[in-house]
Structure 1
């Protein structure tokens, strides 16, 4: 899933946009471009953060936490400091000391992404609690969420919020508005099996209520229907009935149908395509990364093998041009499939991500802490079948040594 994008970005790049959903990530246009605002020292990325600051920071911190790297304190403080008093997050607040008002462009995508990151890092219960309260207040009567509070529900935003609810310890099925849960909203956005793209998710209904299959929305919808966030592991085994189903669907059935669509869409070339107006189809790297996570989460790592192989070969070069959120997406793909993020197609994604912002906690200190925890726990573990919990933690910390969704362009209306 990825960041979706602000109304301003959407207006300018409607054909590649995410109809206002940071679940889509707006492409980090040119890393070398001079930003129109000063880049805070705690922020990842060097491009103008006006439309994606919170998004790329959230993904960067979540990705680092996922691989056992402790982010720099000022990076975490920057993200937490972006929150408005009502609990919501906007893409970027140049002056966090200035209270948010009616003109502050808060949205569900930035808020949900920040919740997933802060919840994973721990120690931010008050902040995530306020954010969840705001998200619940923005829920629509169909059970879903739009990019902005009160906007029509879309698959990407609803799925992002489901991930945030899960991360915060909530049960999405119990978050109900007018008798509808988030899962009800997602099921209403699945394409019937007898229609083109059957089993996929639509971003939103068309003007006449028709549902058009959308790859980005489908990748997001699979995770949402599974109750998963952006950083998740592969399913232990492929569930039965991994294909499109009609009738009164259950969320797992909807996830299976969506995964089947993604598998078919990536079968030929190993990647999804982004159709830009006036140009030939080209690979959509961000959506392909999201598809890898969705396929693995629904049906196991083997189901994502082909697009993963393509991503390992082509993803690092894309991420180098696109910035921290792109590196984070690749790390999520590696994590979901059990691949090595320190050697992803020959690239150390963790080091590359860390180099785009403030250095994570000292590798030396991390190593020392791991060694100390290991030695101090040796005697404690003797009665535990020889396996020390602290030894396991130590290994995870040591593995993180070495350093440790710009919004990647999505085409909500034209992707296969």
Structure 2
């Protein structure tokens, strides 16, 4: 199963984003000779490597913001599943069964689980997907991007989020006695030397661990057992100095300290791509915000979120659904308003990249009494905004995975 997916691994890399896709757009739009994309799909870029990923993030972000996604969009995502439970990035013809040429992977599968579990009503789909993930768990307790591939921090972390979303206890999902947290601890750098406390994506060719900010954001989120749309946590270890990582919580605290230092200079992470060292990495910064907030480093997360509010609108507009979703997750994690994020209504912009939602709900709609007490003017204008979205054309450039993870 590994050789046939090598091309996909090179073109579409692991999560986290988030998380996480840092360069959210590098794929061209489909040429006129290509078949039209499904109307239920978010974005109009080539979905060959990220269709399920960006769809999952879009639906999860809408749910997080209190918007009920269109049924057609949810059905499209669920319908992409293969018979064994796995998800490939994109199946143009779902009447054809998946085979050895179907490039299924752990990241698309885990993201779909998180979205469908949050929306509810798809237990059969998520249960089968969880079963597939368990069947391809590595002996060190982790997961690689593809079945049987060497474990990496990003893939292991997004799977942890999926397991938790599906009601599993990640610490009890074991292979040869090893849990996902064992795999993460094995990818955490010690407190001495360069990159102290960070996570590596994978060991390099010499078997050494090299600090990677993207992997660290993923590792922190995974180590606290949280998913892509995590809210603020209550770790109590925010700002702690690096100490020996003898537990997932300590590894998360160490990683958070590393991210805080990395963000301190300019309020954002920088690109790890060769020749782009001075360029802001908006996607990974958004992932770091979610990770820091989930770990309990809320002040540090808020500072980076404020930078995103001032600077990320153009990036998201160019990058499409997954980018808007990442910013919505960052807003959610820090208590910011995703409908007024640096002057941008992220929810409206995200919604405009896909089919119009069937209805809208308030995220704070806990009781009818609370709803009645809310300012009626807000509800009217919010409804008008959603109606306007239905007439907005879809805009999208590839959302998310074409980033080289390993320095």
Give the structure-1-normalised TM-score. Answer: 0.86
Distance 1:340 1:255, change over 3 A: same
Secondary structure, in 3 states, of the residue corresponding to 1:274?
coil
Residue 200 (structure 1) aligns with: 198
Q: Quick one: which of 289, 292, 297 aligns to 2:286? A: 289
Separation (CA, whole Å) in 1 of partners of 2:239 and 2:300: 14
Partner of 2:311: 314
Mapped contact 1:287–1:410 kept (Cα < 8 A): no
TM-fit CA distance, 1:276: 2.7
Return closer, same or farther for 1:392/1:117 CA change in 2, 3 Å cut-off.
Answer: farther
Match of 1:346 among 343, 348, 364: 343
> How far did residue 27 of structure 1 move?
2.8
1:303 is displaced (CA, Å) by 2.1
Distance 1:32 1:242 in 2: 45
Moved more, 19-28 or 328-337: 19-28
Q: Structure 1 regions of 5+ residues with no counterpart?
A: 1-5, 375-387
Q: CA deviation at 1:65?
A: 0.4
Partner of 1:412: 405
The alignment partner of 1:317 has SS state of helix
Task: Please state if 1:8 is matched with 2:1.
Answer: no
Partner of residue 272, structure 1: 269
Counterpart residue number, 1:49: 47
Q: Which residue of structure 1 aligns with residue 395 of structure 2?
A: none
Shift of 1:238: 3.6
CA distance in 2 between partners of 1:270 and 1:398 (Å): 34
The answer as to 2:167 corresponding to 1:189 is no
- How far 1:208 moved relative to its partner? 1.7
Q: Secondary structure at the match of 1:283?
A: coil
Q: CA deviation at 1:280?
A: 4.8
Q: 2:223 aligns with which of 222, 225, 234?
A: 225
Q: What is the distance in 2 between the residues matched to 1:302 and 1:22?
A: 21
Q: Is the 8 A contact 1:286 1:408 kept in 2?
A: no
Is 1:131 aligned with 2:141?
Answer: no
CA distance in 2, matches of 1:207, 1:74: 45
Q: Does the aligned pair in 1 maintain the 2:15–2:401 contact within 8 Å?
A: no
Unaligned runs of 5+ in 2: 390-397
Aligned-partner Cα distance in 2 for 1:269–1:187: 29
Question: 1:257-278: CA deviations, max 9, x gaps?
Answer: 0000000001001111113324
Q: Note the C-alpha offset of 1:164.
A: 0.2
Which residue of structure 1 lines up, in the alignment, with residue 138 of structure 2? 140
Distance 1:339 1:240 in 2: 20
2:327 and 2:91 mapped to 1: Cα distance? 27
Measure, in 2, the Cα distance between the counterparts of 1:20 and 1:9: 14
Q: Quickly say closer, same or farther: Cα 1:231–1:343, change in 2 above 3 A.
A: same
Deviations 1:31-62 (A, max 9, x none): 76647442100000010111100000000000
Q: Is the 8 A contact 1:286 1:409 kept in 2?
A: no
Relative distance call for 1:19 and 1:346 in structure 2 (3 A) is closer
Which of 175, 178, 181 does residue 176 from structure 2 map onto?
A: 178
Deviations 1:330-371 (A, max 9, x none): 0000000000000000000000000000011234xx59xx9x
What's 1:389 paired with?
367
Higher relative contact order (CA 8 A, sep 6+): 2
| Candidates 87, 96, 99, aligned match of 1:89 | 87
Measured after TM superposition, the shift of residue 207 of structure 1 is 1.5
Number of residue pairs the alignment of both structures matches: 384
CA RMSD of aligned residues (A): 2.6
Conserved 8 A contact 1:155-1:189: yes
